[in-house]
Amino acid sequence: MRKLTTAMPSSFPSLLGDLSRVAPDHVRDVAETKRVLERWMVDPGFRRAFFQDPATAVAGLGVSLTAEQVLPFLGEDSVAEDRRPAAGARPPRSVLRYQAFMQEKIGHRERVRAAGEAADPRMAAWRRRQLNRCTSELGLARATAIVHAPAAFELSKGCTVGCWFCGVAAPRFDHTWAHTAEHAALFRQVLTTMYELLGPCLRQGFLYWATDPLDNPDYEDFLRDFHDVVGRCPQTTTALAHKDVDRTRGLLELTRSLGSEVDRFSIIATGQLDVLHEALTAEEMLRVECIPQNKGAAAVGRKSNAGRARRFAAKRAEELTSDDLSSTIACVSGFLFNMVDRSVQLITPCNASDDWPLGYWVLDSGTFDTAADLRELTETMISRHMRSALRAADVVRARRDLTLSVEDGFLRARSREQVVRIGDLPDPETVADLLTRGDHTAEDFAAARARTGVPFLTTMAMLDGLFTRGLLDEEPPPASRAVPVTIEGAAR
Ligand code: SF4
């Protein structure tokens, strides 16, 4: 699908806010454009029909739009040559309205990302470093799509859907966590504890990970708890929206009433989109992003080569991102809970690899029985892993995915996706050598440079700058070798 670059008037109303003030024809234009585009993305049969006869194909979807109103998003190749409209025509108003909606959603994602910074300065600095590292490690395009949410809460053990491409390799569904009085009380205490620890950024958390939220029949009750304690309705992402459309309609009404801006439905088979489009109007699905995951989806939506998908890297290569591109679907830099196990891990996204097949580092893990255990556990994890600045005794080493070189007198750090030029340093060859060897503490490094005439504090500041930019190695040992945090009294 094509990105348009037409300049946007600033006067379009928000469609993620109160719709009662938006003209119905505006809502309809955007909702119906979205509907046609999601059909085009998911359904190869529709793409073929559109290519031959765009007007009939669009009319067949039961929308009031014409093909000319969606063509600007699809590009010339979507239509047979003799059916292409004349070049230079002014885009219809509906096109500008839809474009404004897309820009509003990009702004929403940026706000979610910005709002994810913790009140604790150690965690805030750590998260900023992980954002910087991800930009270097994953590349700007992939990194900006990651919101680095501060927490995610699984409400089941495993997932019933069993997607072959599951980027977090969800295990087979085992059981779910009922919204009993006891569980609800613990959940609310956990949320309260985390809110006290992290502050309002917890609002950017959500209630799934390697689980589908709708596997839990009481999901909506947990959603209300989260909204009640934390003050925001978390985003829902589900691959089960088609299973019970009455439940789905109720869920959308609930999330809308609680102020949710965007929810997401994974579309694993074309038939699922058929069911959803049949049951829900374009307007009801206005704020639902449909993620095409089906065989036959348009090529722009290749899946990450992470998690279970890695097992199919050869067999289904045409559906996955290629080896030379970074891959992860992880979007949390913070705490990943499983409420069934009462476990918590400290995680942050990385490129999926043999060491980190799930596309995220696990820096620490532990279990808890009570909210008091949890407070102690998470505070221990923060003080163990979240330095706000480089310390003199820290060993300094370039990240292992970086190659350092000196070109034209400048030190450069080359990652899979980026080359970063590092300042104007005296004797950059020695800096490159010491950072590659990684056998000096910051203090020893600065002392070695001081002997060649570079002031000690200049080197310390330079190293702290590299640390802040996420260029120094903070990678933990692969998960199998990590030592979990144990808190006395937590017997699990
Ligand atoms: S991708 Fe989502 S729905 Fe599919 S198996 Fe993984 S967690 Fe379940």
pLDDT, one tens digit per residue, over 365-418 is 999 999 999 999 999 999 999 999 999 999 999 999 999 999 988 999 999 878
Give how far Cα 351 sits from Cα of 130, 211, 268, 356, Å: 12, 21, 24, 8
Look over the chain and give the mean of its residue pLDDT values, rounded to a whole number.
91
Count how many Cα atoms sit within 13 Å of the Cα of residue 158 in the half-sphere of its side chain.
Answer: 8
Residue 485 has pLDDT above 80, yes or no: no
350 vs 310: CA distance, rounded Å: 15
- Which of 293, 224, 235 lies closest to 260 in space, CA to CA? 235
Residue 305's pLDDT is: 87
Query: Which tens digits make up the pLDDT trace of 59-118?
Result: 999 999 999 899 989 877 888 887 776 666 678 899 999 999 999 999 999 999 999 999
Nearest atom (ligand 1) to Cα of 160: 8
SS3 content of the chain, % helix, strand, coil (to 5): 45, 15, 40
160 Cα to the center of ligand 1, angstroms = 8
From atom 6 of ligand 1, which residue's Cα is the shortest distance away? 166
3-state class (DSSP) for residue 152? strand
Ligand 1 contacts CB of residue 346 (under 6 A): no
In a mutational test of the pocket of ligand 1, which residue from 153, 156, 164, 166 has the highest number of ligand atoms less than 8 Å from its CB? 166
Query: Which tens digits make up the pLDDT trace of 112-155?
Result: 999 999 999 999 999 999 999 999 999 988 899 899 999 999 99
- Confidence at 489, pLDDT banded by 50, 70, 90: very low
Q: Could you tell me what percent of the chain has a pLDDT over 90? A: 78
Residue 480 has pLDDT above 80, yes or no: no
Where are the extended beta strands (E) located within 271-359? 288-292, 332-338, 343-349
Ligand 1 contacts CB of residue 152 (under 6 A): no
Residue 14's pLDDT is: 94
Q: Domains of the chain: which residue ranges?
A: 120-239+293-385, 395-468
227 vs 258: CA distance, rounded Å: 7
Mean pLDDT over 456-475 rounds to 95
Ligand 1 contacts CB of residue 240 (under 6 A): no
Residue 6 has pLDDT above 70, yes or no: no
58 contacts: CB under 8 Å, gap ≥ 6: 36, 50, 65, 66, 67, 70
Ligand 1 contacts CB of residue 306 (under 6 A): no
From atom 1 of ligand 1, which residue's Cα is the shortest distance away? 166
467 Cα to the center of ligand 1, angstroms = 35
Nearest atom (ligand 1) to Cα of 240: 3
21 vs 96: CA distance, rounded Å: 19
Query: Which tens digits make up the pLDDT trace of 289-331?
Result: 999 999 888 876 678 889 999 888 888 888 888 777 768 999 9
